[in-house]
Structure 1
Amino acid sequence: MALQMKFDIPARTALGRGDFYVTHSNAVALGLVDTWPNWPNSKMVLVGPHGSGKTHLAHVWCTDTGAQIIAAQDIASADVPSLAESPICVEDVEQIAGDTAAEEALFHLHNLLLANGHSMLLTAPRPPSAWAIRLPDLASRMEGTTVAKMATPDDILLSAVLAKLFADRQIVPMPDVIPYLVRWMPRTFEAAGQVVAHLDTEALGTPKGVTRMLARTALADLEFHEETASN
């Protein structure tokens, strides 16, 4: 039997609304983000663990609103008045806690956006009360912002995310692979990304591609053992 060949095709990360799978885990967050014209003070914080889909939902919102997207760590060196000329999404805001220049730049951006009548979406793993922002005026404004939470994924959402991650890498796993992974892997999107990336590498040169046996080996390699599974 001929061995499977892998071509040097980069993974395509699909971030459109049609690629955003909606279940009970994220429906409330999506609903809150979609009400952006009516956000209190035209701002919202999207909270969830790494790999939970925050960036995907942020890109959906940016497409809907014509917003720019910027990492919080880049704000200190950015042209803040120019950023404030349109809606904006600021990602990973918690990472700038204690960075005086970045905190002051975000405070300035926040005030200019509100003055210009534009909306602001912020993302972080935890709610603003846990950010340890040192600038009091910025901390108070962030803590007064409505929060939308991305919950831990359920089986349906985790299955859909795995399918998407495989598709982004042009991989078609055997039919029993995704149900097996959902049953035994940690219930996080970060783990899903690690598993699929590992399987992408390990499937190279194997005649059957991504099989359940290969998936079991990958979980062991990553120390995602069956006895630690949530199911």
Structure 2
Amino acid sequence: MAGRVQPRQLAFALPHAESFTRDDFLEGPANAAGLALVERWPDWPNRVMLLIGPEGSGKSHLAAIWAEQSGARSTSAHVLTPAEVPVALATGALVIEDLKSKDIDERALFHLLNLAREDGAFVLMTARSAPTEVELRDLRSRLRAIPTVQLLPPDDHLFRALVVKFCADRQLAVDEAVVSYLASRIERSYAAARRAVELLDSEALRLGRPVTRALAAELFRGND
């Protein structure tokens, strides 16, 4: 009789809740300037500010903290249209997420910045980098004049804390051995930490194993 083939366990990508409260924000030198900006509102150097930083660096988290305390509405830069500008600024405060030169309606953004100045509204924009490829000359000039606050890559302490937080978000119990192994094997960036924890989670589920240093070594040995 032929040997029975064991069925392969499937790993399902289930949504994982991530908290964007002030208490859940991980502080460090890399994001100190961004946190200071949010916490000193409304005492800003300008009513319109730009927060830039690498993928996963906490821009959305900081924007959510500010929106909570300011009553700001939130929108994505690529969906903003001229007709929606007055409604977007209705509360006197607005978050514009993920500002990219190629994705924006330049006339809508220029209209918004003008109306915000007329109404004295506060606007916090987030982007991975300052937009430079802007065709509308007046908008390009306006964007260059907006004060920018930058989030930096994580230091070792913040990087380790991020790994622990991402694991906690997925209800994964990890010990210091796992955290130390990842910290010494993967790129020290916010995005890399998130991807590593996602891979550990999915493989642990697929294999029916706990998240241990041994599992991490199997998955990331090639990074030595």
Mark yes or no: TM-score above 0.5.
Answer: yes
- Equivalent pair of 1:11/1:170 in contact (CA under 8 Å): no
Change (3 A) 1:219 1:76: farther
TM-score of the two chains, using structure 1 as the length reference: 0.85
Q: Would the aligned equivalents of 1:62 and 1:68 in 2 still touch at CA under 8 Å? A: yes
The 1:123/1:7 distance shift into structure 2, 3 A limit, reads: closer
Q: Is 1:211 the equivalent of 2:212?
A: yes
1:229 equivalent in structure 2: none
Taking a change above 3 Å as real, the CA distance of residues 76 and 14 of structure 1, as seen in their structure-2 partners, is same
Contact 2:95–2:123 (CA under 8 A) maintained in structure 1:
yes
Structure 2 CA distance for aligned equivalents of residues 152 and 146 of structure 1: 20
1:23 to 25, 28, 41: 28
Q: Which SS does the other structure have where 2:51 is aligned?
A: strand
Counterpart amino acid of residue 38 in structure 2: V
Specify every segment of 5 or more residues in structure 1 that has no aligned partner in the other structure, as ranges: 1-5, 227-231
Q: How far apart are the structure 2 equivalents of 1:78 and 1:193? A: 37
Aligned partners of 1:85 and 1:113 also within 8 Å: no
The structure having more radius of gyration, on CA atoms, is: 2
Report the equivalent of 1:71: 76
Structure 2 residue 85 is the aligned partner of structure 1 residue 90: no
- Residues 199-221 of structure 1, C-alpha deviation per residue, up to 9 Å, x if partnerless? 1111115565111121122224x
| Corresponding residue SS for 2:63 | helix
Q: After the TM superposition, which residues 20-169 of structure 1 pair with which residues of structure 2 at under 5 Å, given as runs? A: 20-76=25-81, 79-86=84-91, 87-96=93-102, 99=104, 102-128=105-131, 131-169=132-170
* Whole-Å separation in 1 of the counterparts to 2:194 and 2:129: 20
Deviation at residue 187 of structure 1 after TM alignment: 0.9
Output one character per residue of 1:133-190: Cα deviation in whole Å (capped at 9) or x when no partner.
1111111111111111101101111111111111111111233111221122101111
Q: Is the 8 A contact 1:72 1:96 kept in 2?
A: no
Structure 1 residues 77 and 212: alpha-carbon distance in aligned structure 2, compared to 1, 3 A threshold: farther
C-alpha root-mean-square deviation of aligned residues, in Å?
2.3
Determine if contact 1:96/1:103 at 8 Å carries over to the other structure. Answer: no
Q: CA deviation at 1:80?
A: 1.1
The offset of 1:89, in angstroms, is 0.8
Per-residue deviation at 1:7?
9.2
Between the two proteins, the alignment pairs up a number of residues equal to: 215
Cα pair 1:58 1:89 within 8 Å, conserved? yes
8 Å Cα contact 1:72-1:95 kept in structure 2: no
Mapped to 1, the partners of 2:46 and 2:175 lie a distance apart of: 49
| Percent of aligned positions that are identical | 38
Distance 2:12 2:100 in 1: 38
In 2, distance between residues paired with 1:125 and 1:82? 26
Whether the 8 Å contact between 2:82 and 2:111 is mirrored in structure 1 is: no
TM-score in terms of structure 2 length = 0.87
Extract unaligned runs of 5+ from structure 2.
1-10
SS at match of 1:46: strand
Deviations 1:72-123 (A, max 9, x none): 00102762111111201111112445x5xx1111111111122222110111
2:198 aligns with: 197
